Each structure stands twice: as C-alpha cells, then as structure tokens.
Amino acid sequence: MINTFYRVFDWDGQSLSSEVGGPFFVPRSQQSQGRHDVPSVDGVIYASLAPLSAIAETIQFFRNNILTKEHFVKPNGFKKALVTFTMPRELKLQDFDDPKTLVSTNRRVGMVTTRDRTVTQDIARGVFQVGVAGLLWPSALEGLWINATLFESRIEGYAQVKGPIVPLSLKHPDVIKAAQLFGIEIA
C-alpha cells in the first residue's frame, strides 16, 4: 500500500508536528463541515497521494477569482505550505478506489465523493469503527487523483515529515497547473 502522502496546511514556518502551525495539526473546533469530518469521534487530516491533488483541493475555492500571493498567507502570518509525509505500510487504510472494498462495504464511488455530508461522514464513522487508520477515496475534482482521510489518533506518532516543507507561491509548478485546470487567473 502507498505510504507517501501530501498535505497543504497553514504553517508557522518552524513546526514539524501536531501543534498549531505544524503539518499534523487538526483544528478540531473547526471540523464539522468537511467531507469526512467526525469531530465527535476523532480529528481528521486530509491528504492526497499526489501533490497536485492536495494543492488543487486547496485552491479550488478561488474559481472565478484572481489568485494572489495574499491567498497563501493567513492573518496570523502562517503560510500555506505543502508537506510530504510518510507512514508505515502496516497502518491500514480502507481503499474506496478499490472495487473489492466497494463491494465488501456495499458502497458506490459516488457515496464516498458526494457533497452530501450526512453520507460521507457516516462512511467515515464506519471506517473508524473498523479500526483502520483512515480511508482512501477518489477526488471529486478529478477521479484519477486519490485523496486520504486519516484519523488523527491513529496516525499520531507514525506520520513522519519527509523532505523540506515547501511554502506555496504563485510560481509553484503545481499551483500553476491546478489554476489552469480550474481556469483560475494568477496575478
């Protein structure tokens, strides 16, 4: 199973762990509206198996706008950054891109990618109850991109930053490519 993941997060420029400003920080008080958010059960970290997917998931909200450098900086000074991290292969994930998983769980791909949060959050609760570290699912933006929903308590101490954390900018190749895919103008 794949063990390298990519995540865009609000970085303080120094932190490398789960504290505020770090790559594994989960703002539980703000979780409830996300696709697989289950704050009453556990915090979730959203990641992707490709950096382009992680970046696209972040900038998609700027469709019909002009993407500026200010979109990558938060009022508190934290900057949007891309982290690459790994986890041991032993941490199992339920793979909803695998037809066998869909059949065994009596699900369809559309149930995992729907915008109906009652459906997707129910799936996440069920996956948590199975005892795995999270789930893999095709992105609703591009079916070939695979995203991951990782349960905070199940990956804590296992997820390890790999390589440098890269602050996002208007010149980052995947920012440019994602913007082109969505017709987002870059300042």
Amino acid 160: pLDDT: 95
Q: b/e map of 123-150 (b: 16 or more CB within 10 Å)?
A: bbeebbeeebbbbbbbbbbeeebbbbbb
Helix or strand holding residue 127 (H, E): helix 117-130
Contact 81, 167 (CB under 8 A): yes
pLDDT at 2: 56
Q: Answer with the residue of higher pLDDT: 31 or 113.
A: 113
H or E element, residue 85? strand 79-86
Question: What's this model's pTM, rounded to 2 decimal places?
Answer: 0.94
Mean pLDDT of 46-61: 96
> What total number of domains does the chain contain?
1
By residue range, what is the domain housing residue 156? 4-186
**Residues β-bridged to residue 81:** 9, 167
105 contacts 94 by C-beta, under 8 angstroms: yes
Q: Binning pLDDT at 50, 70 and 90, where does residue 32 land? A: confident
